[in-house]
């Protein structure tokens, strides 16, 4: 991902229990701490998107509007009484994407899709993946610019544009966030 122009980040795995179901429609039971040090950090995250969105909000509040970040980390859940964790890859991009010396473009669906294609090809999945319209989508995402990533007939991931109503006054709500 670094070779594709994104910066790696590392975020907290603890979030507020009110945020654990943001950005997902998956069925799971959240993993709450028995004795949290803070109510803001009382639950283990299920998805990395929540954590990356907090990094986005922090950067925008400090004047950085060109963000291309990714994280490889764990998401935690409980299903049927069993605890589990998944290793996940998540990226968030907004503003200008720098494609080389003196070459930049505004982030859009096609830049994001191109990065996913490059990643999948480098992992050996060339000609074995497709992008399809999702059947179910969380309310935090824009309905028009979205795709599920299907590899060998199985949903492996998603590409989504975050809906502008989730910008919380960041000042760049009209810009793309994927």
Q: Could you read off the pLDDT of 2-57 as tens digits, one per residue?
A: 999 999 999 999 999 999 988 888 889 999 999 999 989 999 999 999 999 999 99
Q: Tell me which residue of 89, 95, 108 sits closest to 158, measured CA to CA.
A: 89
Distance CA 95, CA 62 (A): 14
- Going by their DSSP bridges, the two strands 7-8 and 67-79 should be labelled as parallel
C-alpha distances (whole Å) from 139 to each of 45, 93, 123, 127 are: 18, 19, 31, 31
The residue-averaged pLDDT of 84-93 equals 95
The residue-averaged pLDDT of 107-134 equals 93
Distance CA 119, CA 138 (A): 25
Domain spans of the chain? 7-127
The residue-averaged pLDDT of 150-177 equals 68
| Burial tier of 71 (Cβ tally within 10 Å: 0-12, 13-18, 19+) | buried
Map tokens 């989504």 to a residue: 160
Map tokens 């605890």 to a residue: 83
Distance CA 92, CA 60 (A): 13
The residue-averaged pLDDT of 126-155 equals 86
C-alpha distances (whole Å) from 167 to each of 10, 57, 60, 92 are: 22, 8, 10, 13
Q: By three-state DSSP, how is residue 132 classified?
A: strand
Q: Tell me which residue of 23, 99, 86, 81 sits closest to 54, measured CA to CA.
A: 23
Q: Could you read off the pLDDT of 50-82 as tens digits, one per residue?
A: 999 999 999 999 999 999 999 999 999 999 999
Q: Does 7-127 carry CATH code 3.30.930.10?
A: yes
């Amino acid at each position: 991902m670094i070779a594709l122009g994104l910066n790696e980040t590392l975020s907290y795995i603890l979030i507020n229990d009110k945020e654990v179901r943001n950005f997902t429609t998956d069925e799971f039971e959240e993993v709450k701490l028995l004795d949290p040090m803070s109510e803001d950090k009382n639950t283990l995250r299920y998805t990395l998107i929540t954590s990356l969105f907090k990094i986005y909000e922090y950067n925008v509040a400090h004047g950085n509007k060109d963000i291309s970040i990714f994280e490889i980390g764990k998401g935690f859940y409980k299903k049927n009484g069993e605890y589990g964790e998944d290793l996940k890859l998540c990226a968030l991009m907004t503003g200008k994407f720098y494609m080389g010396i003196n070459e930049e473009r505004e982030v859009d669906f096609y830049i994001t899709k191109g990065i996913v294609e490059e990643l999948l090809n480098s992992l050996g999945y060339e000609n074995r993946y497709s992008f399809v319209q999702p059947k179910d989508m969380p309310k935090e995402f824009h309905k028009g610019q979205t795709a599920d990533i299907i590899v060998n007939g199985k949903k492996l991931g998603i590409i989504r544009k975050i809906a502008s109503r989730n910008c919380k006054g960041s000042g760049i709500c009209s810009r793309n966030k994927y």
